[in-house]
């Protein structure tokens, strides 16, 4: 029953200090907007790197003397490795044929070459889970030890760069999200603390009349959650405007932005995230209640 | 109902009450009297758990305060109505809401709150002031609001700290009658006062305090 009364007290307090509360909501909204932007960058980055395994392959170039049968045996052996999804043998002739296909408009490049200079090879596609900087490096070293394999090639630098960028962006995003979240909690903390001090005498009277800690805390927690949730709604509105600007105003000018993925769940999640941060800020600001 | 056994309370090494042993029986109406600084308010504060004794033991309605968990304090306080010396009325709430506060804290339903508050305001003759704010009331009216707030929860003990301070004699005698009526319903009443008129010819126990010690007892 007292929750209804606490809700009434919280609403009265919000109305009484409407300007402070409005400012807090806008600040929380701005913070959550920044967090969401950062999240969108990480989310899109993650999606892009998840597509990488579809394009990633390793090439095992074989020695000149390796027979077709031996090469097929090597490929069959590789297929038994759980890290490998597919291993395809490409003979010297097939490799030349593929090269000719690629150079069909510049066929003169191959004129005058009497002997096929291309080595036979095995093209390997790795499992999604096995594509990591260190695991690929280890696999490459293992493959190089296979009898008949002369050279192992994969986009080492490309893989390293992607990994570094991904790690860098993730770390930076975590830092930004962490700082902004702490900032939002601090805004709720400060606002509720101000309300708490303004009502200190009232709270003392409540205690003497037999109020429990729950009864004293509830209006402040409700107030913090309302501030957080409304801050979340403010940021959701800003996000909606950003979504509109991005897809309806910027995409026609810069079509590449069409690849940006914008999960619609964000709009529902923002008030909830605000609510949780608001409750946390309020609980921290009230602290321990003593009866003596 | 209330038992003090060798209770001492210090404020910055100065004893406010010293080695007090005292019993107030269930249903009794008793007075604590003595000059300012005698320790009357401290004694009441220990009963309503605003202060903790430094030495000795206090028992209230079978609750041993030395063994009482902090989480149980609100539930004990609900059994004790207090008429505070400084009123402690909430200026931003009207008379109705000030009185209703006690019941809302106890989790009463709003219909019940409305009915009981209006009944109590009728008893203290303030029904017509239900919508007024404390600042718009006279001292005597404010005092009656505080009494209404203290008794609306039907406590087993009623404590009053200087309930007639700054009131004219007519208002004071009205308040005194009110306490007797409340006591007649079975509530234990303990009143701290230096106003001799309040206990004169009442036939009730008067406990004299001076400099933190009980210096005597008499029948008023």
- Could you tell me the two tokens for A173? 């995003």
CB contact under 8 A, A207 and B71: no
pLDDT in tens, A131-144: 777 888 888 888 88
Contact partners, residue A86, CB within 8 Å, separation at least 6: A79, A123, A124, A125
Structure tokens at A67: 């027979």
Quickly list H helices, chain B.
40-47, 73-77, 95-105, 110-123, 139-151, 169-184, 196-199
CA distances (Å), origin A163, targets A67, B143, B163: 37, 75, 77
Domains of chain B: which residue ranges?
1-79+156-220, 86-154
Rounded CA-CA distance A281/A229 in Å is 12
**How many C-beta atoms lie closer than 10 Å to residue A20's C-beta?**
16
Query: Pairing mode, if any, of strands A58-62 and A121-126?
Result: antiparallel
Write out pLDDT tens, residues A55-93.
Answer: 778 899 999 888 888 888 898 888 888 888 888 999 888
Nearest-Cα distance to chain B for A32, in Å, is 35
Q: Which residue in B71, B75, B107 is closest to A2 by CB distance?
A: B107
A138 touches chain B (CB under 8 A): no
Which of B49, B101, B109 lies nearest to residue A209, judging by beta carbons?
A: B101
In the stretch 208-227 of chain A, residues with CB closer than 8 A to chain B read 208-213, 215
pLDDT at residue A53 is higher than 70:
no
Say if residues A33 and A40 touch (Cβ distance below 8 Å): no
Q: Do B71 and A213 touch (CB under 8 A)?
A: yes
Judged on CB neighbours under 10 Å (0-12, 13-18, 19+), A63 is middle
Q: How far apart are CA A163 and CA A155, in angstroms?
A: 12
Distance of residue A219 Cα from the nearest chain B Cα, in angstroms: 13
pTM for this structure? 0.73
β-pairing, B188-192 with B29-33? Answer: parallel
What angle is formed at CA B180 by the lines to CA B74 and CA B186, rounded to 5 degrees?
A: 55
pLDDT of residue A238 exceeding 90: yes
Which residues, other chains included, contact B57 with Cβ-Cβ below 8 Å and sequence gap of 6+?
Answer: B4, B5, B6, B7, B64, B65, B66
Q: Which residues of B touch A201 (CB under 8 A)?
A: 88
Cα–Cα distance measured from residue B53 to residue B9, given in angstroms and rounded to the nearest whole number = 5
- If we measure between CA atoms, which residue out of A42, A39, A36 comes closest to residue A169? A42
**Tens digits of per-residue pLDDT, A90-115?**
988 888 888 888 877 777 777 777 78
Q: In what order do the strands lie in the sheet with B63-64?
A: B14-24, B2-11, B55-60, B63-64
Q: State the residue for tokens 């709003």.
A: B110
Which residues in B lie closer than 8 A to residue A215 (C-beta atoms)?
74, 105
Distance CA B112, CA B95 (A): 17
- Tokens, residue A190: 């400060």
CB B134 within 8 A of CB B91: yes
| Contact assignment for B90 to A1 by CB distance below 8 Å | no
Alpha-carbon gap, residue B66 to B69, rounded angstroms = 9
Cα B206 to chain centroid distance, Å, stands at 16
Task: Calculate how close chain B gets to A215, using CA atoms only, in Å.
Answer: 7
B-facing residues of A in 94-113 (CB < 8 A) are none
Nearest to A202 among B73, B90, B153 (CB): B90
Within 13 Å, how many C-alpha atoms sit on residue A200's CB side? 4
Query: Which pLDDT score, from 0 to 100, does residue B4 have?
Result: 94
- Tell me which residue in A210, A290, A291 faces B105 most closely, judged by beta carbons: A210
pLDDT at A1 over 70: no
Chain B within 8 Å of A244 (Cβ-Cβ)?
no
Chain B closest-CA separation from residue A20 CA (Å)? 19
Report CB contact under 8 Å: A291, B74: yes
Interchain pair A208, B102: CB under 8 A:
no
CA distance A291 to chain B (A): 7
Dist. CA B118–CA B134, nearest whole Å: 17
The CA-based diameter of chain B, rounded to the nearest angstrom, is 50
Band of pLDDT at residue A241, cut at 50, 70 and 90: very high
Mean pLDDT score of chain A, rounded to an integer? 87
pLDDT in tens, A155-202: 777 778 878 888 888 888 889 889 988 988 888 888 888 888 888 889
Nearest chain B CA: its distance from A17 CA (Å)? 14
- At B74, give phi and psi (nearest 5°): -55, -35
Distance between CA B46 and CA B79 in Å, rounded? 14
Q: What is the ipTM of this complex?
A: 0.90
Option in B73, B82, B101 nearest A291 (CB): B73
The CATH code of domain B1-79+156-220 reads 3.40.50.300
Tell me, what's the pLDDT at B13?
81
Per-residue pLDDT of chain B (220 residues; tens, 9 = 90+): 899 999 999 998 888 999 999 999 999 999 999 998 899 999 999 999 999 999 999 999 888 988 888 889 999 999 999 999 899 999 989 999 999 999 999 999 999 999 999 999 998 889 999 999 999 999 889 999 999 999 999 999 999 999 887 677 877 888 888 899 999 999 999 999 988 888 888 889 999 999 999 999 989 7
Task: Name every chain A residue with its beta carbon within 8 A of the beta carbon of B90.
Answer: 202, 205
First-to-last alpha carbon distance for chain A, in angstroms, is 26
Confidence category of residue A54, pLDDT binned at 50, 70, 90: low
B170 in A contact zone (CB under 8 Å): no
């Amino acid at each position: 029953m007292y929750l209804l009364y606490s809700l009434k007290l919280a609403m009265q307090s919000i109305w009484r200090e409407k300007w402070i509360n409005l400012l807090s909501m806008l600040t929380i909204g701005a913070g959550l907007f920044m967090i969401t932007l950062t999240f969108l960058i990480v989310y899109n980055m993650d999606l892009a790197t998840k597509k990488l395994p579809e394009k990633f392959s390793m090439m095992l170039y074989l020695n000149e003397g390796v027979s077709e049968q031996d090469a097929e045996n090597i490929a069959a052996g590789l297929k038994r490795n759980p890290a490998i999804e597919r291993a395809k043998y490409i003979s010297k002739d097939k490799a030349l044929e593929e090269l000719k296909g690629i150079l069909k408009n510049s066929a003169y490049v191959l004129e005058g070459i009497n002997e096929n200079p291309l080595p036979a090879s095995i093209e390997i596609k790795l499992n999604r889970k096995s594509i990591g900087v260190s695991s690929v490096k280890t696999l490459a070293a293992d493959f190089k030890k296979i009898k008949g394999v002369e050279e192992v090639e994969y986009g080492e630098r490309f893989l390293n760069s992607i990994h570094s960028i991904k790690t860098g962006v993730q770390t930076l995003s975590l830092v930004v999200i962490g700082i902004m979240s702490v900032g939002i909690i601090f805004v709720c903390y400060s606002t509720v603390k101000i309300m708490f001090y303004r009502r200190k005498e009232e709270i003392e009277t409540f205690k003497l009349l037999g109020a429990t800690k729950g009864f004293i805390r509830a209006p402040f927690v409700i107030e913090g959650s309302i501030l957080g949730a409304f801050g979340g709604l403010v940021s959701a509105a800003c996000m909606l405007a950003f979504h509109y600007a991005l897809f309806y105003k910027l995409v026609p000018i810069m079509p590449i932005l069409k690849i940006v993925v914008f999960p619609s769940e964000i709009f529902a999640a923002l008030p909830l995230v605000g609510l949780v941060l608001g409750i946390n800020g309020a609980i921290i600001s009230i602290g321990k209640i003593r009866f003596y | 109902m209330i038992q003090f056994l060798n209770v001492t309370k210090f404020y910055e090494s100065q004893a406010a009450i010293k080695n007090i042993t005292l019993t107030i029986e269930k249903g009794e109406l008793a007075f604590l009297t003595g000059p300012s600084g005698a320790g009357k308010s401290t004694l009441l504060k220990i009963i309503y758990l605003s202060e903790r004794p430094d030495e000795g033991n206090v028992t209230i309605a079978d609750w041993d305060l030395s063994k009482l968990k902090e989480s149980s304090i609100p539930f004990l306080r609900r059994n004790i109505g207090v008429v505070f010396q400084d009123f402690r009325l909430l200026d931003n709430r009207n008379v109705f809401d000030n009185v209703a506060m006690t019941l809302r804290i106890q989790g009463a339903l709003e219909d019940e709150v409305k009915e009981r508050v209006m009944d109590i305001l009728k008893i203290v003759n303030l029904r017509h002031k239900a919508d007024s704010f404390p600042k718009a009331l006279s001292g005597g009216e404010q005092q009656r609001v505080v009494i209404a707030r203290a008794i609306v929860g039907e406590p087993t003990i009623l404590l009053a700290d200087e309930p007639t301070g700054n009131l004219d004699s007519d208002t004071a005698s009205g308040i005194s009658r009110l306490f007797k009526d409340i006591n007649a319903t079975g509530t234990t009443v303990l009143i701290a006062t230096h106003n001799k008129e309040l206990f004169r010819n009442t036939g009730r126990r008067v406990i004299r305090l001076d400099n933190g010690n009980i210096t005597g007892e008499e029948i008023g």
